[in-house]
Structure 1
């Protein structure tokens, strides 16, 4: 089997639009040059796509199936019927033999599964929705057809941009994994399925109970009991008698939560701390799986992959990222009923082992350190002695895990999952909903009012006046955008004058009298978009075309300032006017 990797010149990007009497497909190369447009007459498609690799957005679910029927020479009316069945949820598995290999840029893009229009908005691009009704019961007029084709062309362009953005981070590591399997079908699988198949080609034997040591085969084995005895009795009772829930204890000056995920804890009084050390467990879940022989016959393969990644980590990024996918996906696959690795007791064993080990590390550190934050695989603390280094070495030997040390000159936390930290190098680390978007414009999650995350972080770490942050970034409008989306559960997006808008819109708070967009429910009632301004300037064109001077004159900075101050006051207890 030849390598799964694909050359750019072998790619064709495509998108399809289907109406009752008009169906067409647009093909472009990676340079956005149109190489094919087929409208109602599909002769020539097979020749164009021969020996090519097709790329779309959500095409594994939709476009590949429609194109398969175009290759059969079906009429637009027949294709519209199939289109409606697919969208309505009817299963269509048929793929034409003339259909070549296809890649889907939507695959595993994000758990939120953003639409192409949402990605356009997040990226600061034009948000283009066709005004031509897809349920129209007649042939399109020449003007309608031209608009719909332009819409389709634009979607292909955005698909190309998404592919380029994901090629190194997703497709290249995935191809590296596919090459290990020697199974051409694996190309359409997601990376979690591929990762499981790299380790085994059949389901593993399921455990009847938890095992916290490689030599254990029953719940009441002394080595199990020895590990369990390291945590409070009420935690043991939770783990042994229930499958969900949590127990919170007060220890080391922290509220510490045990459950069925990671161990979490936060200092009850220390929120703003200087000179913090962090001990992180290296490859925590993979290492635990190896310690307890959690993959049985596949454990050696898994251990070899972990070692191989250590060797290539700084030499071959693509291979390193591919191996990381295997290592990190296994824990999730243990709780995925559709995976070859599915075994809830193995998943709980890894989970409990991790919490026990981290809790024990906290207990040992607490004798000479003050614990600040506990989060799944790491413990942050402050100390004025070197005793923690002895704890570090002894703990590693006892639990057969490895720790790495990080330092922060400044560490500020809102709670266990929301913090900002400054490294000695000047690098900034952020975590949590208030500050997650500090570093980058995120195309695939949410990219709304990122300026708020920036202002909060810079105030917390540097006491920078939020007003100054708001003013000095005005040359970059994408930081201030709100992307509003009205899902198919609503009739659409309307303003106060009953004018209908696109389902996805980019807006800015404005000082001028303007419109207020709302979601109209199917029953005719309205629902407001949360945390949005009263006066909205709607701008759905590419942000490179915005008049920056007009933007600066009209943007309502007070809207952002109120939100920033509210978050700093209520959540972070950090605002001082």
Structure 2
């Protein structure tokens, strides 16, 4: 397996390639023959990059096809066109690229920041209209090598992404060349989906599950019967909770809420796939709709046996709905996607209507509900209602129990089962952070420890001496020209900032057309450390008080304090 990264300038280009098998590093600068020779020696290897699906693989293919890499660079970067549109000759080139970037718009530098590694960038301007000096080339190679090393680190943290892709290729007997595809693209290939030659014009022709039984909230169904515009929404109080009905799933929650008692997560298992099969809402582009149903059946059999092969089948099932909204995917069928989404919302609304007399609705979301029993003696009644709903609709429900909830809104909550010690968190403020998502971790920890263990927020923050725990990683989007520390412009789209006790320290701003704009959740006074902060001790300059105040503000949003 090869890990690689290209850098292309006006009159120079280079690539750093690291071979995971031989543990060797190859650096090629402006040498077309050398790169093509290397490629032919490794034509059957898998090349792993970051954002390489959209950029690096096409730089490589352009060189192999006899084009200058600058031509492809300008095509993709300057003209904002897709690499595959550049030349038909690229289709003939075998290049097994695997892109470890999973979230569009999330840069490698941002992940480096989360991991506590250096996010410093080369000072060499990519628009320099001349040949680079030897010193400049050496500097670029240094940073390019660093980025390849970081790509390997990201790959190791996301090995499951690669394993599931390989699992799809192997389980469904696909050619290895399909390792380059996204999971949604692979799902379309596996299901033999192909868009019709002429575009359909029935996107808003919504049909409803024939098992629906809604009375009190029938006006919601009427809204979907009459609307023909995605901009239209319908606001309705459902079981005492405000809901906004639109086109993205059911969402409603008590805000700034704290509750105790018997709290049940009523979760619909494999909701969208089951709806697609039960009500005929699979993409009409699938050659044989029964194949989707068979994949679900096989997956359930493997899951029951504890067979890890269930993984690839689950990917196909769960990727299909999203792919039906992607106009570039073979599964694209927006009418069916709308049927799935609206049908799912109304079926849950049906269940809420039946449960409402016996429960407090804590929140509703795309595939389930959180309810609090008004009287524990009503559990059998609630169980019977859920069973009737399952039998009538063809869905399956799972119950998960909690005894306390702190909730900011539908996307941010802490559910606690104190008897078993189970804690479920959701949302940026309280979720468990990973090495690739590590922003203000001390604040998250302080909140969860406060709500679950009763630990004072000050105690958690004051006793921590690991600088990385206090980092705020800021990434500026392409819409901004750069960053400024006070009135002084600084280099880099990614900055790692910390709160400073120094009252003369400046604030970090983002710059747009010469104007300074504040960045959310950054202190008024900061210091920046873009080097490696792993295992780095906290300097006396760090203002712990800022983190304490932020944590307490967030705690209030969850119904605490």
Q: What is the TM-score of this pair, normalised by structure 1?
A: 0.85
2-structure distance, mates of 1:338, 1:100: 21
Higher relative contact order (CA 8 A, sep 6+): 2
Q: Which residue of 1 aligns with 2:189?
A: 197
Match of residue 253 from structure 2 = 266
Quickly say closer, same or farther: Cα 1:191–1:520, change in 2 above 3 A: closer
Query: After alignment, is 182-191 or 328-337 more displaced?
Result: 182-191
* Alignment match of 1:299 (pick from 286, 289, 294): 289
Counterpart position of 2:46 = 53
Q: Which residue of 2 aligns with 1:572?
A: 558
1:71-86 aligned at under 5 Å gives the runs 71=64, 78-86=68-76
CA positional deviation for 1:29: 1.6
Is this contact kept in 2: 1:449–1:479, CA < 8 A?
Answer: yes
| Cα drift, residue 312 of structure 1 | 2.1
Distance 1:32 1:21, change over 3 A: farther
| Conserved? CA contact 1:273–1:412, under 8 Å | no
Once structures 1 and 2 are overlaid, which stretch shifts more, 125-134 or 511-520?
A: 511-520
1:456 and 2:447 are equivalent in the alignment: yes
The CA deviation string for residues 63-92 of structure 1, in whole angstroms up to 9 with x for no partner, is: 222223434676xxx433442333112454
Task: Spell out, residue by residue over 1:424-444, the C-alpha distance to the aligned partner (whole angstroms, 9 max, x if none).
Answer: 4323211233323xx12351x
Closer, same or farther: CA 38–99 of 1 in aligned 2, 3 Å: farther
Q: 1:413-424 to 2 correspondence within 5 Å?
A: 413-423=407-417, 424=419
SS in 1 for 2:361: strand
Aligned equivalent of 1:210: 206
CA contact (8 A) 2:206 2:224 kept: no
- In structure 2, the partner of 1:347 is 337
**Structure 1 unpaired stretches of 5+:** 1-10, 214-222
Residue 239 of structure 1 is matched in structure 2 by: 224
C-alpha change, 1:502 and 1:317, in structure 2 (3 Å) is farther
**Number of residue pairs aligned between Structure 1 and Structure 2:** 538
How big is each residue's C-alpha offset from its partner over 1:25-65, in whole Å with a ceiling of 9 and x where there is no partner? 11112279333211222333334332322221122222222
Q: Given the superposition, is the C-alpha separation of residues 494 and 278 from structure 1 closer, same or farther in structure 2, using an over 3 Å criterion?
A: closer
CA contact (8 A) 2:55 2:76 kept: yes
1:187 to 148, 161, 179: 179
Counterparts of residues 13-412 of structure 1 (less than 5 Å): 13-30=3-20, 33-49=23-39, 50=41, 51-71=44-64, 78-88=68-78, 89-93=80-84, 94=87, 95=90, 100-106=95-101, 109-111=102-104, 113-168=105-160, 170-179=161-170, 180=172, 182-183=174-175, 186-203=178-195, 209-213=205-209, 223=210, 227=212, 229-230=214-215, 232-242=217-227, 243-244=229-230, 245-267=232-254, 271-295=258-282, 298-313=288-303, 319-383=309-373, 384-385=376-377, 386-412=380-406
For the Cα contact (< 8 Å) 2:116–2:533, is it kept in 1? yes
8 Å CA contact 2:193–2:331 kept in 1: the answer is no
Aligned partner (choices 407, 418, 424) of residue 429 of structure 1: 424
Distance 1:269 1:493, change over 3 A: closer
Relative to structure 2, which stretch is displaced further, 510-519 or 522-531? 510-519
For the Cα contact (< 8 Å) 2:508–2:526, is it kept in 1?
no
Aligned twin of 1:218: none
For residues 4-31 of structure 1, the C-alpha deviation after alignment (integer angstroms, 9 at most, x for no partner) is xxxxxxx111112223343221111227
Cα distance in 1 for residues equivalent to 2:483 and 2:220: 49
**Partners of 1:528 and 1:450 in 2: CA distance:** 21
Contiguous gaps of at least 5 residues in structure 2: none
- Report SS of the residue matched to 2:98: strand
